[in-house]
Structure 1
Amino acid sequence: MFNTFRTFVLLAAMTALFMVVGYFLGGTGGMMMALVFAAGTNLFAFWNSDKMVLRMQNAVPVERSRVPELYDMVDTLSRRAGIPTPAVYVIQSDQPNAFATGRDPNNAAVAVSTGLLRTLDTREVAGVVAHELAHIKSRDTLTMTVTATLAGAISALAQFGLFFGGGNNRDNPLGGIGALLMVFLAPLAAMIVQMAVSRTREYEADKLGAEIANDPIGLASALNKIATYAKREVNIGAERNPAMAHMYIINPLSGARMDNLFSTHPDNGNRIEALRRLAAEMQLNDKGQRPAPRPAPASSGRDIGGGWRVPTAGRTEDDGGTRGPWG
């Protein structure tokens, strides 16, 4: 319920920003045109932004026959998360990364890069997939996708207005200066609205994803690897459409600082530390397993009368503690 409310608040904020841009580009008439444009964009974003994001990030659907291990992993973890199995997409990129999209769990998709499948081991891939499933389960994907689409549209509107001579309308108090300001300020304002999608959602998705996979350390290791490679491998789709960067598990933009004021993601070291604390709380070791319980002290048995004794040596209170992660 809160995520639905947050989505509509963001839509309203983006609509208001559209109107401000329209006013400074074309006065009152421009504002009304921007309102109509915003209404259409909001409607389109709600129903189609997930498909647009997948296309803009060069993600292509894949059949189970091509990546059976990934398909089985997504299916298993989805059942553990209690959501329908989403569609699986692959991004042709050497940079290991992933994101989820979709307006609800029944219309969702998980996209992973070829670099991620090639660079990370099974535990780490499972942690990343579980993180993305956590976003779907929490319905973060609708907010993330809509804000990405609208932020890009606002920037395009500002550029469009300047190109066609916006700001000459007498109804605009700042004239051409106002139009010029919008070219620079509108994308910045859109980015700030994007930041309204609190960075705490990444911590929440890390926590829920680690619980789904039953392996916080696997996800922590994946975050460390992805962050390292993201600094040296270029994600072409993300670089061309930076408004989509906040959808990825790690900031995909090369050279982007992770801890500055306008970062779309929390500091990676803080995320890893939080996952290590969670592993300690879950009593899991670095292999994602609970230490085997100590056997009960050896005994000749329990006297049940009549000279009979029930053997008890070697029994344990819990024989399920050594199960491996996520499987």
Structure 2
Amino acid sequence: MQMQSRFRSDRRLTVRMTVTLFLLGLLYVVFVGALIVLLKSWVLVVAVVAAMLVAQYWFSDRVALFAMRGQVVEREAYPELHGVVDRLCAIADMPKPVVAVSHMDMPNAFATGRSPEHAVVCVTDGLLRRLEKDELEGVLAHELSHVAHKDVAVITVASFLGVIAGLIVRFAFYSQVFGGRKDQNTAVIFAAVMGVSAAVYALSFLLIRALSRYRELAADRAAAQLTGRPSALASALTKVSGDIARIPTKDLRTVQAFNAFYFTPATGKEPGIERYFSTHPTLEQRLDQLGRISAELGEAARPGMSE
């Protein structure tokens, strides 16, 4: 069977990203408008919000690498890792991203960057130690799909509104707690800002989580089609999820802020009711999809995959 020459265009993913960004854009306009009315300074509000948006979009790759202790690595140090990335980029007909390694034992990977030409793909030492070459290829194809479909940039921009709203809620709260006595009008304004910000944060949170879950399924699907080996990706998912589940929760808390970017979330357990607020689909959903793709391709399923 001839392997797909590039990542397929995913119309459903594009539609969902467009709709989500449109809704978040409307929410953004309402949010900024409310702040201008409440704070009575449109110049200050627009300047601060615009500066933070540009900073998050432009420097997201550096921030993510710094937070995850990732270091850019050359071919001489990691020839096999570079070889897999080179091969996948050639098949997908896309620019090669910067390759980085995070010196963490937690097995995981993520992609970040504002465009395919300014992207970084990072894997942890823990992932490299645990996976076979075909499993690593599946994980990297998943991350490259995020880059090719530009959903790394989309999720970065989409998450911005929630970040701003959350920061404002915290600022307003601590100002009330530690700012001393205020007159009644000031207290009303602070309460209104907190209320608007909290509502915006909640709505943007739900929209982004729904988009994030779908984009993970889309990346699994694209990776399976590109490599022609969905069973290898399923095996990697099972290994990584199982090993993360054995890591104490307290050790995972420091990295959970970046769950939306990971190959699989650092939650340590399969979600219950919280699955509706998760950044990722459940392991069962991902394996079921890969099982169906494997059947379509006529591939022999590995243990843990649905027939």
Q: Is the 8 A contact 1:238 1:252 kept in 2?
A: yes
Partner of 1:308: none
Residue 96 of structure 2 corresponds to: 85
Instruction: Return the letter of the residue paired with 1:96.
Output: P
Q: Give the superposition deviation at 1:153.
A: 3.9
- Structure 2 portions without partners, runs of 5+: 1-10, 303-307
Please give the secondary structure, in 2, of the residue aligned with 1:106.
Answer: helix
In the alignment, the residues of structure 2 paired with residue 47 and residue 78 of structure 1 have an alpha-carbon distance, to the nearest angstrom, of: 23
Matching residue of 1:163: 174
Taking only the aligned residue pairs, the percentage that are identical comes to: 29
2:273 matches 1:226: no
Kept in 2: contact 1:21–1:186 (CA 8 A): no
Contact 1:162/1:180 (8 A) holds in 2: yes
Is residue 45–residue 150 contact of structure 1 (8 Å, CA) maintained in 2? no
2:293 matched to which residue of 1? 278
CA distance in 2, matches of 1:175, 1:214: 57
Match of 2:7 in 1: none
Hey, what's the Cα distance between the residues in 2 that align with 1:162 and 1:236?
27
Q: Point out which structure has higher relative CO (alpha carbons under 8 A, 6+ apart).
A: 2
Shift of 1:277: 1.3
Structure 1 residue 34, shift from structure 2 partner: 3.4
- Tell me how far 1:282 sits from its aligned partner: 0.9
Among 244, 255, 258, which residue is 1:244 paired with? 258
Q: Which AA in structure 2 matches 1:246?
A: A
Shift of 1:11: 6.0
Distance (Å, rounded) in 2 between the aligned partners of 1:121 and 1:47: 34
| TM-score normalised over the length of structure 2 | 0.79
Counterpart AA for 2:62: K
Counterpart residue type for residue 32 of structure 2: M
Per-residue CA distance 1:121-153 (angstroms, 9 max, x = gap): 111111100111111111111112333455334
Residue 12 of structure 1 aligns to which amino acid in structure 2? Answer: G
User: CA-to-partner distance for each residue in 1:197-220, whole Å, 9 max, x for gaps?
Assistant: 252221211111112222100001
Matched, 1:117 2:131: no
Is this contact kept in 1: 2:21–2:158, CA < 8 A? Answer: no
Q: Distance in 1 between matches of 2:174 and 2:240?
A: 39
Instruction: Quote the offset at 1:85 in angstroms.
Output: 0.9
Of 205, 209, 213, 1:199 maps to: 213
Alignment partners' CA distance in 2, 1:128 and 1:18: 38
Q: Whose helix fraction is larger, Structure 1's or Structure 2's?
A: 2
CA distance, structure 1, for counterparts of residue 268 and residue 41 of structure 2: 36
Task: State the one-letter code of the partner of 2:234.
Answer: A
Name the stretch that deviates more: 169-178 or 264-273.
169-178
Moved more, 157-166 or 134-143: 157-166
Code of the aligned partner of 1:90: V
- What is the CA–CA distance in structure 2 between the aligned matches of 1:237 and 1:264, rounded to whole Å? 19
Aligned equivalents of 1:37, 1:104: Cα separation in 2: 24
Shift of 1:194: 1.9
Distance (Å, rounded) in 1 between the aligned partners of 2:154 and 2:161: 11
Deviates more, 1:127-136 or 1:163-172: 163-172
Asked whether the 8 Å contact 2:108–2:262 carries over to 1, the reply is yes
Q: Residues 89 and 110 of structure 1 are in contact (CA less than 8 Å); yes or no, is this contact kept in structure 2?
A: yes
Unmatched tracts of structure 1, length 5 or more: 288-327
Offset at residue 159 of structure 1 (A)? 1.3
Deviation at 1:230, TM superposition (A): 2.0
Which residue in 2 is equivalent to 1:302? none
Higher mean C-alpha deviation, range 149-158 or range 216-225: 149-158
Preserved contact between residue 100 and residue 132 of structure 1 (Cα < 8 Å) = yes
RMSD after superposition: 3.4
Q: 1:49 to 1:94 in 2, by over 3 A?
A: same
1:131 matched to 2:142? The reply is yes
Partner of residue 8, structure 2: none
Q: Distance in 1 between matches of 2:207 and 2:182?
A: 28
SS of match in other structure, 1:221: helix
Q: Which amino acid aligns with 2:233?
A: L
For residues 161-190 of structure 1, give each alpha carbon's deviation from its aligned partner in whole angstroms, at most 9, with x where no partner exists: 222338967667845544665786565444
Report the Cα offset of residue 285 of structure 1.
Answer: 2.0
Deviates more, 1:66-75 or 1:139-148: 139-148
**Distance across 2 between alignment mates of 1:150 and 1:264:** 16
Q: Is the 8 A contact 2:143 2:219 kept in 1?
A: yes
* Per-residue CA distance 1:30-71 (angstroms, 9 max, x = gap): 776433322222222232222222222222211212211001
- The corresponding residue for 1:48 is 59
Aligned partners of 1:21, 1:263: CA distance in 2, in Å? Answer: 29
Corresponding position of 2:4: none
When residues 150 and 185 of structure 1 are mapped into structure 2, their CA distance, relative to the original with a 3 A threshold, is: closer
